[in-house]
Amino acid sequence: MGTKENKAIVKQWVEGANKLDKSALELLANNFVYHVMWHNPPMEVNREFIKKFFDNPQPLSDMSLSIGDIIAEGDKVVILETVTGTHTGNMMNIEPTGKTVTHHRFTIYRIEERKIAEGWGLDNRLGIFQQLGITPPIE
C-alpha cells in the first residue's frame, strides 16, 4: 500500500472520530494500541477504550478535530491536529470549568494491512492548562 492510501485511511479515521462514528472503529486493527505520550510512563489505549469514549466523550463534550498537516512515508502517517472543545467533564483531576480550549497534537499512525495498527500522540498539555487558568501564561 502506498502513502496516498495510508493518508486516506488516517483522514477517514479522523473524520469518523470527529463525528464519534463507531463505524470508524473498523479502521482500527483488532490489536490497535494508541500510546498517550504525555503520561509518564505512556498510557496505552485500545479499541475498547475508544469505543467507550465515543459513548461518553468527556472531558471535552463538543470536541472537534481538524487536520492541519499530514505527512506519510512507508507505513507511517503523521498528522498535526487541532482539537477544540468545551471543558465539561473531569480532565486530569481538573473539575469542569466550562471554558473552551483549543490545542494542537501530533500523532504518528502505523498502518498495517489497510488498518491503523498503532498510534503515538503528544498533546500540548501546557497550552490546555494555561487556557483553563491552571498554569499562568509564559511571558
DSSP 76: E
Q: What is the C-alpha separation between 46 and 132, in angstroms, rounded? A: 28
DSSP annotation of 87 = B
Pick the CATH number of 3-132 from 3.50.50.60, 3.10.450.50, 3.30.460.10, 3.40.30.10: 3.10.450.50
Per-residue burial over 11-24, b if 16 or more Cβ lie within 10 Å, else e, is eebbebbbeeeeeb
- Matching residue, cell 477544540: 84
- H helix or E strand, kind and range, residue 64: strand 64-73
pTM of the model: 0.89
Per residue of the chain (139 residues), what is the pLDDT tens digit? 799 999 999 999 999 998 989 999 999 999 999 998 777 777 888 999 999 888 886 788 788 999 999 999 999 999 999 999 999 988 878 899 999 999 999 999 999 999 999 999 998 888 999 999 988 888 7
pLDDT (0 to 100) of residue 43:
81
Question: Are 61 and 85 a contacting pair, CB within 8 Å?
Answer: yes
Which sequence spans correspond to the domains of the chain?
Answer: 3-132
For residue 4, what pLDDT is reported? 96
